[in-house]
Amino acid sequence: MPEMIDLRNRIDRAKLALDGLSVGDAFGQQFFAKGMREWCLASKEPPPGRWSVTDDTEMAISIFETLAIHQEIDQDALARRFGTRYLNDASRGYGPAMHRLLKELGNGTDWREHSRYLFDGVGSFGNGSAMRVAPVGAFFADDFDTVAKQAALSAEVTHAHPDGIAGAISVAIASAWCAQRTATRSLDGREMLNAVIEYTPDGAMRHAIQEALDVPLDEWEYTAANLLGNGSQITTLDTVPFCLWCAAAHLESYSDALWAAMHVEGDIDTNCAIIGGIVACAVGQSGIPVDWLRSRESLVVETQMSDL
């Protein structure tokens, strides 16, 4: 178990990732309202009003709580938290497969009985495993091997397909890389992508991220999305490569990263959640616009640690 000071630092890093992820999620969700994208592009202002979060944030909170309490991904505890949060509010935009799975988890069914058998037994390769994982990378940022292992554990509870697991690992490594370098401000997006490739398992995801590395970081985001995907297919392969590229291209500006993600449309809230969780680890708490953080709805986070 980590020493108390070290644990505090880990939790603070994970909380930063959660803030970046949840603000991105809430920001991106606003653009599914009719006319909002056009209004924001014309006014050059963020969406007005209160920003609600989606299942992206709800599941990320469960990960954060599990880390704070157990100091690791306890899969059974995480499954219970996923299920409980779902039953408390099932209207947060969960996909059809997650509706079925999380209802079972909320009713006490062992996740092992269902997760691996989704989609005719291949497991889910949706982008849900990647959208929620940034706090894992931030929490274990000092050890990339542990990041990869813990990210895989977090994914397997709901996304047992190799692409679902690989997508979670790649995003967690990106957030860990950024969290390591916040103090030194040595932020090279291509270096980040190379680190991600090194720790992503061999397979389709690793190949897709290598393709993202081939796209210049000063390329137009529409071109990058055309080459890499924009999340429209709701899969990790169609989502994670562009999100990693976009984060790498905007490591020093949280708002620029999210505006770029909004421009290419697709699964905007999930894209912004992934990118926001990574870039927040690079820019720190002060890099998240205060008015954006205030616009996001308040998060209800349960923990046994009284000083959180």
Q: So what's the pLDDT on residue 114?
A: 82
Q: So what's the pLDDT on residue 184?
A: 60
Q: How confident is the model over 4-42, as pLDDT tens digits?
A: 779 999 999 999 999 999 999 999 999 999 999 999 999
Q: How confident is the model over 38-66, as pLDDT tens digits?
A: 999 999 999 999 999 999 999 999 999 99
- Give dist(CA 87, CA 243) in Å, integer: 30
SS3 state of residue 48: coil
Write the DSSP assignment of 79-90 as a string of letters: HHHHHHHHHH--
Write the DSSP assignment of 222-262 as a string of letters: HHHHHHH--STT-BHHHHHHHHHHHHHHTTT-HHHHHHHHH
Q: What is the mean pLDDT of the chain?
A: 94
SS3 state of residue 271: helix
Residue 108 token pair: 């006490």
Q: How confident is the model over 250-260, as pLDDT tens digits?
A: 999 999 999 99
Q: So what's the pLDDT on residue 117?
A: 76
Q: What is the mean pLDDT of residues 193-210?
A: 98
Q: So what's the pLDDT on residue 306?
A: 38
Phi, psi at 51, each rounded to 5°: -105, 120
Q: How confident is the model over 129-188, as pLDDT tens digits?
A: 999 999 999 999 999 999 999 999 999 999 999 999 999 999 999 999 999 986 566 789
SS3 state of residue 126: strand
- Give dist(CA 173, CA 128) in Å, integer: 16
84-55-133-12 Cα dihedral, nearest 10 degrees: -80
Is the Cβ–Cβ distance between 103 and 179 less than 8 Å?
no
Q: So what's the pLDDT on residue 303?
A: 64
Percentage of the chain beyond pLDDT 70 is 96
1 or 65: which leads in pLDDT: 65
| Domain 4-295: which CATH number of 1.20.120.1810, 1.10.4080.10, 1.10.10.10, 3.30.450.30 | 1.10.4080.10
Is the Cβ–Cβ distance between 289 and 255 less than 8 Å?
yes
Q: How confident is the model over 69-111, as pLDDT tens digits?
A: 999 999 999 999 999 999 999 999 999 989 999 999 999 999 9
Q: So what's the pLDDT on residue 308?
A: 39
Is the Cβ–Cβ distance between 105 and 80 less than 8 Å?
yes
171-185, 188-202, 290-304, range with greatest mean pLDDT:
188-202
Q: Which residues contact 66 (CB under 8 A, 6 or more apart)?
A: 73, 74, 77, 78, 81
Phi, psi at 296, each rounded to 5°: -65, 140
* pTM, full prediction: 0.95
Q: So what's the pLDDT on residue 162?
A: 96
Is the Cβ–Cβ distance between 128 and 95 less than 8 Å?
yes
Q: So what's the pLDDT on residue 116?
A: 77
Q: What is the mean pLDDT of residues 269-289?
A: 97
Which 8-state DSSP code applies to residue 132? T
Percentage of the chain beyond pLDDT 90 is 88
Closest CA to 124 of 82, 92, 87: 82
